[in-house]
Chains A and B, each alone.
Chain A
């Protein structure tokens, strides 16, 4: 906790120094920097989201500035650590809007934090690109709010389509305690009928639970289960996967995009073999066919991120990349940082290739991704492979 505060004050210090320099330079610098505000869960339970997101934003703001900035103006990132806390998120967004006077906000690692600040950005009329997953962020459409990650409903649909192709129609659901888990469970239950999937068992586990064999035994003893779907993220799905193999359930196991990172395979070990999950193309960047239009974007991002931070790329960082470049794209199109014009430009984005897929925004769709953005992956030999 202490370090975060130190980091914050250090950052504030930097901003102050930067401001001082700008003042000294006076009118010599005609163009003020474009201020991009951000609040991310860099620490706390959702740190695995916020950490790569922050790193990605810092990396690419630096890169864009090195290349001359946007419209001849430098970008300036003002980022706060909201630590997964909706209350903190509100405070920081207020500060971003009122004190920092940012031009646009890219942030919000979790759905809870995002939803908490929606009223603020709507009232202040600042374009806001959320990096959180749930459908509720863009449905119903909110004038100033956009988002870059796939929704949990799309993940459910992708999984159910795959199940259909394998002729699996009676499934069991096991989900965790977090907002993501609950939301995905609800969405899956909601669209299951549409794909002829029958959910015949519905189990949950709690925060910090160390063993899920009880729930899985119950599923194992439910007659007719043809597949199991685990909606969750964090360490829970890894434990579920291990327990699943331990008690010898033989039907296919599906995980969600919430655990779409190498870490999941590392944690679950050999038990992860054969697990399927929907994920962005980023995870299998190198094995995408050369003809895939998404390949250049994801390969470039992966290389850039991994060579800089010496750690495995995750889709979460990719969402931040998409958010930042959508903003840049919109500002270029709007020819400035006028908030209303940028918002309109964002809504008009068509065919923009990001790490998550092709974005086709419209007045009725503030995410703009379709199911083709998801690839069905299977763990084979300790790595992700594309399911044909």
Chain B
């Protein structure tokens, strides 16, 4: 029984960590612009697919992964520069619709550049399951959880200790005031797209060895990441991480203990219940620090 619980917990943490990374990407852009970037899932796909291509071309992971993250970040920056920035004066709704268009466009492009097949990446460090408390976990799951933890720590340092991070934080609190004290809010918006694209790419690369990747892998991951961000409270870094983990664990627990047929339904019922009592999410807008 406890071994079973352990298995569900570890699985939930792995899945949840990926949701958390995607949710963080949503939050960062939301903070900079109040835009929900629906192309976030596509960054996940670009990260995974680019790594597949580069490793297939013979590059080692140490080279392929940074390049793939950089590629996704470039796409993110280009998206801001050529699609979001020209519509600067438009309403938030318009910008959101632009990101939906961008996501369809990117998916179509990926279909043409790559193909419509599923691709598998080799695990970073072997395929031998590790036994933890009666449960088994793949080394890759530990990578997922470990890297997500490292990224969360790095982000909290970035937003708490660096000038650029503080500038981004300031913009999220009050855009006008930030501008008045000399923060280049346009630059902040520009960089936030690059940063969340990079985060999405990391998620895509980490998960590809476990789940395989394809041109449309971003659709569902993007949706789950978005749900996590909403659950945690849009714009809150802590919220994104907690939201992701809660969603991941809720999904696997309900699949394990209740019914796999209703696992998504149960997860979304939890989200609805939370939002009913806390309309701004678990950690949203209550004077707490926002990432």
Contact = CB atoms under 8 A, between A and B. Distances in A.
Given A217-B256, A221-B4, A242 B118 contact: no
A207 B220 contact: yes
Interface string B214-250: 1011011100100000000000000000000000000
Nearest to B18: A210
Contacts of A242: 138, 210
Interface in A36-65: 43, 45, 47-48, 51
A3 interface: yes
Contact of B260 (A203, A234, A238, A269): A203
Interface string B98-113: 0000001100100110
B118 A246 contact: no
Interface in A164-202: none
Contacts, number: 103
A217 B7 contact: yes
B212 A2 contact: no
- Of residues B14, B111, B207, which shows the largest number of chain A Cβ atoms within 10 Å of its Cβ? B111
A238 B120 contact: yes
**Dominant secondary structure at the A interface:** helix
A234 B216 CA distance: 12
B53 interface: no
B260 A211 contact: no
A47 B15 contact: no
A206 B264 contact: yes
A235 interface: yes
A239 B216 contact: no
A19 interface: no
A246 B8 CA distance: 13
A247 interface: yes
B289 interface: no
Contacts of A208: 217, 219-221, 224
B263 interface: yes
Contact of A267 (B120, B135, B216): B120
Nearest to B223: A208
A215 B4 CA distance: 11
B221 A211 contact: no
A214 B256 contact: yes
Interface string A253-297: 000000000010011111100000000000000000000000000
Contacts of A266: 120
Contact of B120 (A3, A221, A269): A269
B252 interface: yes
A39 B18 CA distance: 37
B261 interface: yes
A48 to B, nearest CB: 7
A45 B212 contact: no
Interface string B110-148: 011000111110000001010000011110000000000
B255 interface: yes
Contacts of B184: none
Contacts of A218: 4, 255-256, 260
B11 interface: yes
Contacts of B220: 207-209
* Of listed A43, A210, A242, A248, residue having the most chain B CB within 10 A: A210
A204 interface: yes
A213 interface: yes
B256 A238 contact: no
A1 interface: yes
B138 to A, nearest CB: 5
A204 B212 CA distance: 19
A218 B129 CA distance: 18
Contact of A217 (B8, B212, B251): B8
Contact of B212 (A3, A239, A247, A271): A239
Interface string B13-35: 01100100000000000000000
B211 interface: yes
A325 interface: no
Given A214-B256, A217-B4, A48 B136 contact: no
Given A206-B264, A213-B11, A214-B260, 6 more contacts: A2-B105, A3-B111, A47-B116, A203-B260, A208-B217, A235-B211
Interface of A: 1-3, 43, 45, 47-48, 51, 203-211, 213-215, 217-218, 221, 234-235, 238-239, 242, 245-248, 263, 266-271
* The 8 residue pairs across chains A and B that have the minimum distance between CB atoms: A208-B220, A47-B116, A214-B255, A210-B211, A214-B256, A214-B252, A235-B118, A1-B108
